Amino acid sequence: MCQGRKQMEALALKLQRREVLGKKVSVLRRSGFTPVHLFGRGIASLALQSRTRELILVLARAGQNVPISVTVEGQEGEHLAFVREVQWHAYRDEVLHVDFLRVELTQRIRSEIPIVLMGDAPAARAFNGSAVQHLRTIAVEALPLEMPQRVEVDISGLDDLEKAIRVKDIAGLHSSVVILSDPDAMIARVE
């Protein structure tokens, strides 16, 4: 009835060390760069920058659940990271700052995964109702490369007003993914 989708390959992003700090970062933004921070277990927080155009493309594909392979110019190796926070301008569609959380491949992490309803609910047509999504995300814990990008929930089984889909109905996730949300929480039903 419900399935998880996995994203096994990390996106890639190149970052440069940032010398401009504090209120002077507006100059950085005008020149086509966005300030970012990379932090996590085992490394000191790094003040970095990214070309804004490249960063926006990666953010659009990654969301907060797809791992990103981050390399820092002048540094050997790469870091596996997830987007943890994106700061947006209050009035313009402009990214002001991004925080990346570096993780270990063997370290389990927690994340909120979006729930996407798929299909049509027969009860919506039969009883002149509509399918209502009560829960938009679920909390899960998984290894970084096994983190689902989203969970797809098929609502075609909702053929009367008494039926509902709950978190405990979710199946098809990788065996190492642990759902942390309340199993009895309702995802969708026809009303």
Using DSSP bridges, classify how beta strands 33-40 and 95-103 pair: parallel, antiparallel or unpaired.
parallel
- At residue 89, the pLDDT reads 80
- At residue 114, the pLDDT reads 92
Spell out, as residue ranges, where the chain has pLDDT lower than 50. 1-8
Q: How far apart are CA 23 and CA 64, in angstroms?
A: 27
Give per-residue pLDDT as tens, 26-35: 888 888 899 9
Residue keyed to tokens 């401009």: 20
- At residue 139, the pLDDT reads 94
* φ and ψ of 105, to 5 deg: -60, -30
- At residue 33, the pLDDT reads 92
Give per-residue pLDDT as tens, 56-82: 999 888 877 888 899 898 888 888 888
- At residue 5, the pLDDT reads 46
